[in-house]
Chains A and B, each alone.
Chain A
Amino acid sequence: MIRELWAYRELIYFLAWRDVKVRYKQTVLGVLWAVIQPFFTMVVFTLLFGQLAKIPTDGIPGPIFYFSALVPWIYFSSTLTNAGMSLVANSGLLTKIYFPRVILPAAAALGNLMDFLISSVFLIGFIVYYKTPLGWNLLLWPALVVLLILLSLSLGAFFAALNVKYRDIRYVIPFLIQLLMFTTPIIYPASMVPERFQWLVALNPLSGLIEAFRYVVVPSHVLDWSLLMFSVGITGVLFVTSVAYFKSAENAFSDIV
């Protein structure tokens, strides 16, 4: 399977390239949209949750606190959506040509990486502006990105396979994203959750991951290693489950899509 994916690596690249190209064709602002979305969300969050509701930000400047979480969150939610819809959206390809089916959700995950990287560069601008000192923690960043991709792709591919059979998934995904948005420490720090509910926070694999994305840019922020390990563990389980389900379902894709 790995060897076959390697043989088709160019197709993953070209499909991702297609998605990126098409996303910004005939738009005036083009790639700037990758930054506009998290930026304005961050502005609203800072005003609403920071200034008005006075939700603590663990002593981190509001814009960095929100933006550092929004960048991975937006990657996760758009990958979940795009990958989840990828098989059905490309049914024309599924029924006319052979390639490893997992390429479609994988290409969606790769295509979104571009927006993620652009907004990450933007984040560096904030850090420079707020004169936040950078530390060795930043070395953890690439590993976090890998974990983020694995988590988003595992869930995305799983939903994509389910979506071929049950079109209900189309409605499940936005709903799930909405719920996760509030149950993940994006607008609040995980430390704010009462001790007896901490296990619930830990069950959400995004919690440890998003907190860690904050930690790497703000060294004063304390990383909850156990929370991150939960993320790694749950992502591993999701990955294995997703691969197993996808493999069992993929032979029938072209017949029922």
Chain B
Amino acid sequence: MVVLTHSIEIQSVSKRYRIGRQQRTFREDILEFAKRPFGRRNNEAESMWALKDVSFDVAEGEVVGIIGRNGAGKSTLLKILSKITYPTEGNIKVRGRVAALLEVGTGFHEELTGRENIYLNGSILGMKKQQVDKCFDAIVAFSGVEQFIDTQIKRYSSGMRLRLGFAVAAHLEPDVLIVDEVLAVGDAGFQKKCLDAMEGLRSGGRTVLFVSHNLAAVENLCSRGIWLDGGKVAMDGGAKEVILAYMASFADSPTAESMLADSESRQGNGEIRYTRVEYLNPDRTPRALTRCGDSLVIRFHYYAKKTVHYPVFWFRLFTKMGTLITVEYSDGHGINIPRVEPGDGYIEVEIESLNLLPAQYDLSLWITDENGETLVYDGDVRTVLEVEPANIYASGFTPTSRHGIAYFPQRWSVP
């Protein structure tokens, strides 16, 4: 029998927040008290459960990624685990020294110098002065702000502040590390440092709990994934499976395949029409997740009522904002299809490297005959292509939709 030591035990934890009228005034409370000094207080404030009956254990040395949409309760869970806030119900137990990084550079003071802030921040994060003394040079070197170490940080750029804050955090030696979305900020170099430092912790056998929207980072770093949805654990398992299930849950972004409803909005004579769209791997196996840089096969299924001569298959790709990215059609790629027999069939488009940045894209589809007369035109029924972040440059920098729509394979060099 294997006895596992649990670093973290969470037993049916729930957390309720009051919403609506958040703050009662002193006057209201006094009046209330004057009216009913011993009675029950009027507690009409509406409440919502940020977490409801969440239970799981984390074994020592496990690296767990927590994913979920905004408002799923991820941050609340982290706050409870780091003892910043208390659960309304349930119990938590965390063994060992805990370091919670919900922010980089917590407690930095503008008026103090970099050096002074290293000591202050270190002590806020629970480091002893001796420990900071010992790592001081390493922290400074890691931050890359040596020249400015005796300058007040109000003169620092935001990037310098971030690096300094992370440099201190990276020298913590916790048994359990709790990290929130700190990787979402900062430039490529910074993100790479963050990921490297997390990797270092992982290989050092530390228990790490990591909340992120960056599914690529979760998949790379974590062995286990927990998907929170509406304050509950929706799924708990291997990081990869949980990410796939999470991706599949996006109702408006069917990932493996996409049914095209028989909509009224379809125009044309209906002799031939698209029935569904499938996203496949190059070996034609179904895929659940598409990331930027992936090789991808898009299979357009159609159904023909009768024999159709020389059909031309078209698709257009839009951003969610409606910007047209590209129009492609079979004729334009030199594909001539003399005839299509009645019944089901498909046509495939193979993309060697999908150079779209992470976002949701709309595909709109139609088919014309050789004269360009519309046979099937789907005006409203579109299908969604969801592209996930990936480490495309192998640098740790994972571009997001903030970086644009597309990326271009390129090589940088310094003479």
B29 at the interface (CB under 8 A from A): yes
Whether A93 contacts B112 by the Cβ 8 Å rule is no
Chain A 66-98 near chain B by CB (<8 Å), digits 1 or 0: 000000000000000000000000101111111
Whether A26 contacts B123 by the Cβ 8 Å rule is no
Number of interface residues of B (CB under 8 A): 32
Whether A254 contacts B85 by the Cβ 8 Å rule is yes
Given known contacts A18-B120, A25-B111, A97 and B25 CB-to-CB distance under 8 angstroms: no
Number of interface residues of A (CB under 8 A): 28
Q: Specify which chain A residues have a CB less than 8 angstroms from the CB of B124 in the assembled complex.
A: 11, 14, 93, 97, 99
Give the distance in Å from the alpha carbon of A98 to the alpha carbon of B124 in the complex: 9
A178 at the interface (CB under 8 A from B): no
Whether B106 contacts A97 by the Cβ 8 Å rule is yes
Whether A98 contacts B123 by the Cβ 8 Å rule is no
Chain B 83-94 near chain A by CB (<8 Å), digits 1 or 0: 111100000000
Q: Specify which chain A residues have a CB less than 8 angstroms from the CB of B120 in the assembled complex.
A: 14-15, 17-18
Within the complex, which residue of A15, A93, A254, A256 is in contact with B79, where a contact is CB–CB below 8 Å?
Answer: A254
- Chain A: CB-nearest residue to B117: A18
Q: Specify which chain B residues have a CB less than 8 angstroms from the CB of A15 in the assembled complex.
A: 120
Cβ distance A10 to chain B, nearest Cβ, rounded Å: 5
Q: Specify which chain B residues have a CB less than 8 angstroms from the CB of A95 in the assembled complex.
A: 84
Cβ distance A96 to chain B, nearest Cβ, rounded Å: 5
Q: Specify which chain A residues have a CB less than 8 angstroms from the CB of B23 in the assembled complex.
A: 165, 256
Within the complex, which residue of B82, B84, B98, B119 is in contact with A14, where a contact is CB–CB below 8 Å?
Answer: B119
- Chain B: CB-nearest residue to A11: B123
Whether B123 contacts A166 by the Cβ 8 Å rule is no
Give the distance in Å from the alpha carbon of A54 to the alpha carbon of B10 in the complex: 70
Q: Specify which chain B residues have a CB less than 8 angstroms from the CB of A26 in the assembled complex.
A: 111
Enumerate A12-43 residues with CB–CB distance to B below 8 Å.
13-15, 17-18, 21-22, 25-26
Give the distance in Å from the alpha carbon of A14 to the alpha carbon of B115 in the complex: 13
B103 at the interface (CB under 8 A from A): yes
Whether B123 contacts A254 by the Cβ 8 Å rule is no
A195 at the interface (CB under 8 A from B): no
Enumerate A161-195 residues with CB–CB distance to B below 8 Å.
165-166, 168
Q: Specify which chain B residues have a CB less than 8 angstroms from the CB of A256 in the assembled complex.
A: 22-23
Whether B84 contacts A97 by the Cβ 8 Å rule is yes
Q: Specify which chain B residues have a CB less than 8 angstroms from the CB of A97 in the assembled complex.
A: 82, 84, 100, 102, 106-107, 124-125
Whether A21 contacts B128 by the Cβ 8 Å rule is no
Cβ distance B155 to chain A, nearest Cβ, rounded Å: 13
Chain A 82-122 near chain B by CB (<8 Å), digits 1 or 0: 00000000101111111100000000000000000000000
Q: Specify which chain A residues have a CB less than 8 angstroms from the CB of B27 in the assembled complex.
A: 168
Cβ distance A87 to chain B, nearest Cβ, rounded Å: 14
Chain A 136-147 near chain B by CB (<8 Å), digits 1 or 0: 000000000000
Chain B 263-306 near chain A by CB (<8 Å), digits 1 or 0: 00000000000000000000000000000000000000000000
Whether A18 contacts B109 by the Cβ 8 Å rule is yes
Whether B107 contacts A92 by the Cβ 8 Å rule is yes
Cβ distance B341 to chain A, nearest Cβ, rounded Å: 65
Q: Specify which chain B residues have a CB less than 8 angstroms from the CB of A99 in the assembled complex.
A: 124, 126
Q: Specify which chain A residues have a CB less than 8 angstroms from the CB of B38 in the assembled complex.
A: none
- Chain A: CB-nearest residue to B119: A14
Q: Specify which chain B residues have a CB less than 8 angstroms from the CB of A166 in the assembled complex.
A: 25-26, 29
Whether A22 contacts B111 by the Cβ 8 Å rule is yes
A-B contact pairs, 25 of them (CB 8 A): A11-B123, A11-B124, A13-B123, A14-B124, A14-B129, A18-B109, A18-B112, A18-B120, A21-B111, A25-B112, A25-B152, A26-B111, A92-B107, A95-B84, A97-B82, A97-B84, A97-B107, A99-B126, A165-B23, A166-B25, A166-B26, A254-B79, A254-B84, A254-B85, A256-B23
Q: A13-B123, A14-B119, A95-B84 are in contact. List 9 more A-B contacts (CB 8 A).
A: A10-B123, A14-B120, A14-B123, A18-B120, A94-B84, A97-B82, A97-B107, A98-B82, A166-B25
A-side residues, CB < 8 A to B, are 10-11, 13-15, 17-18, 21-22, 25-26, 90, 92-99, 165-166, 168, 251-252, 254-256
